[in-house]
Structure 1
Amino acid sequence: MSERDESAIPAQAPAGTSPGARLARNMMFYTVLRLLMVVALTLIVIGIGRLAGVDVPVLVAAIISVVIALPLSMVLFTRLRAEINSDISAVDANRRVKRDDLHRRMGEA
């Protein structure tokens, strides 16, 4: 790449990872946390059912857990979701810069 081409690319993250790699890592972490929350809530619903003397089917407990986990994860994982949103913005900005650079170079040809 020439000096002119390098100046159009935004600076890399201080940690040395690209925004795309950070986004993938954070999304994977967020997904695993949400799945673990659903599993834990499912076990809690089944346990509460047993304490009350009711046999709660696993599927019913899982559905209840998904309904509970959605708003709960919005509250508990606010910081992680904010990081994901900023990573998405960085990836979009990088794509926009590359697309504009491509359009600029195609116009010069």
Structure 2
Amino acid sequence: MSAPTDPRASRPAREPGMAATLALYTLARLGLLALIAGLLLLAGTPVLIALLVALIVALPLSMLVFRGLRARLDVALATSRARRTTERSALRARLRGDEPDTASGDRPESQSDPRGD
């Protein structure tokens, strides 16, 4: 039985991927922005001013409030970067001819043909 070819198969099942973590963090930041802008609008602030102030306030506040999400995103980014670096170095090694391509099932040219040719 061959090893799985999907690189995501080696990741633990409970660890979310980078896309899911990034989407969750983005939604959380947009939610915080909407909450702050909504509170400012309820206080009678004009819409444009409320959005601009909410943008300015939401950035540092999200760094404090969503510290756990930022840590998860940092781990997901580091994992993705390490995986891409490994894949890139393996591809470069195969292109240089340093390592035989065992994943595709190609046999080295030095082996004799089973038909005897």
**Which TM-score band applies after superposition, normalised by the shorter structure?**
0.7 to 0.9
CA distance in 2 between partners of 1:10 and 1:99 (Å): 16
Greater relative contact order structure (CA < 8 Å, 6+ sep): 1
Select 1:39's aligned residue among 25, 34, 43.
34
Mapped partners of 1:99, 1:44: distance in 2 = 48
CA distance in structure 1 between the aligned counterparts of 2:12 and 2:56, rounded to whole angstroms? 38
Alpha-carbon offset, residue 48 of structure 1: 2.6
Partner of 1:30: 25
1:11 Cα offset (Å): 7.3
Structure index of larger Rg: 2
Cα displacement string for residues 20-60 of structure 1 (whole angstroms, at most 9, x for unaligned residues): x71101111111111111111111112233xxxxxx21111
| % identity of equivalent residues | 31
Deviation at 1:12, TM superposition (A): 1.9
Q: Over residues 43-93 of structure 1, what are the superposed CA-to-partner deviations in whole Å (9 max), with x where a residue is unaligned? A: 1112233xxxxxx21111111111110011000111111111111111111
Structure 1 residue 87 and structure 2 residue 85: aligned? no
Residue in structure 1 matched with residue 64 of structure 2 by the alignment: 75
**Residues 1:39 and 1:74: Cα distance change in structure 2 (over 3 Å):** same
SS at match of 1:103: helix
Gaps of 5+ in 2: 99-117
Misfit runs of 4+, over 3 Å: none
Count of residues in Structure 1 that have an aligned counterpart in Structure 2: 95
TM score, norm. by length of structure 1? 0.75
Matched, 1:102 2:97: no
Q: How far apart in 2 are the matches of 1:10 and 1:27?
A: 17
More helix by share: 1
The normalised TM-score by structure 2 is: 0.70
Q: 2:11 aligns with which of 5, 10, 13?
A: 13
Distance 2:69 2:14 in 1: 19
